[in-house]
Amino acid sequence: MPKEPEISLAEKTFVLEALKQNLRIDGRDIHSFRDIQLSFGDDYGFVDVRLGKTRVLARISAEVIKPRQDRPFEGTFTISTEMGPMASPSFEVGRPTNLDHTLSRLLEKSIRRSTALDLESLCIVTAQRVWSLRADLHFLSHDGNLIDTACIATITALAHFRLPVVTVSGEDITIHPVTERVPVPLSLLHWPICVTFSFLGEDEDGEMVCVLDATAQEEALREGDMTITVNKNGEVCQISKSGGVAVEAETLMKCARMAAEKVKGIDKLITTALRDDEVTRNKGNLDWLKEGRSENER
């Protein structure tokens, strides 16, 4: 028996009618994101992202392994997204839903395939030792737009994470604990950020209503959706529109332009949050405000 709760006709009619007039239940207009709140943990690489009632945690961890034989210069990076009933009772452990598959596919395309993370920078000793990075995403509460939230969480956590310094002498490598040598940031080439549009009927002018940052209720009522991943330079990393209602190409172009605008704002928000966290951590030690690179000698 499907566990999705039935939405009453009253809610459905109201929401769809209101959207035609650019009115949403939480008072936003259809092109506004909810307030994005970022908070960091004690460890580097741990971030808690909230978009309204949607809440996702991301944690980056690293270990040293032997690289793949066909890619001896590269480290590895995996993203784990397992949804559970904490986010919503309709998720079951061990039974991935369509959302599970879509989410992991989109993050794969947006972050891994777009080489946001420079895997070669994770190499310690060619063909012998490389860093293996892991992003674990935990979905704590689902009120729509898990995709965009998960992407923001992953990118922010990657940007926040610090890799321990490694010195190589011949065959041996020494991983220095963080108390001995200050750890270094990852080499991120760009920050791809997902923006998902939901299509909910046509307004009075016959144009498709494209809603940004849909809540769970809006997602349940939508006829189609599209996710565009863009970075702050306006470069599109991926576009995904799997089925759903047919949308005019003109509308999709408008959405892409809007996404590029939104991403600039989100990028700035992440940068500010990271900087504020760094200041708090180091209590104003100015050296740390300079971008660190893994090649730096200390």
**DSSP code at position 117:** B
User: 3-class DSSP state for residue 55?
Assistant: strand
Which CB, 10 or 249, lies closer to another protein? 10
Residue numbers 48-77 binding another protein by CB under 8 A? 53, 55, 57, 59, 61
Provide CB contacts within 8 A for 254, sequence distance 6+.
210
Contact 270, 159 (CB under 8 A): yes
**Interface region with another protein, contact rule CB under 8 A, candidates 130-138, 151-159, 245-253, 264-272:** 130-138
Q: Report the nearest approach of another protein to the CB of residue 58 (Å).
A: 11
- Out of 32, 71, 72, 84, the only residue in the binding site for another protein (CB under 8 A) is 84
Cα(18)–Cα(275) distance, integer angstroms: 39
Provide CB contacts within 8 A for 80, sequence distance 6+.
134, 135, 136, 137
Cα(104)–Cα(48) distance, integer angstroms: 19
Residue 24 found at the interface with another protein (CB under 8 A): yes
Residue 6 found at the interface with another protein (CB under 8 A): yes
Site map (CB under 8 A) of another protein, residues 158-177, x = contact:
--------------------
Which CB, 14 or 73, lies closer to another protein? 14
Please name which of 211, 195, 253 lies closest in space to residue 20, comparing C-alpha atoms: 211
Q: For residue 272, give the H/E element and its range.
A: helix 249-282
- Out of 35, 65, 73, 89, the only residue in the binding site for another protein (CB under 8 A) is 89
User: 3-class DSSP state for residue 201?
Assistant: strand
Q: Report the nearest approach of another protein to the CB of residue 103 (Å).
A: 15
Site map (CB under 8 A) of another protein, residues 199-238, x = contact:
----------------------------------------
Contact 34, 28 (CB under 8 A): yes
Site for another protein, rule CB under 8 A: 1, 3, 5-14, 17-18, 21, 23-27, 41-43, 46, 53, 55, 57, 59, 61, 80, 82, 84-86, 88-90, 93, 134, 136, 138, 140-143
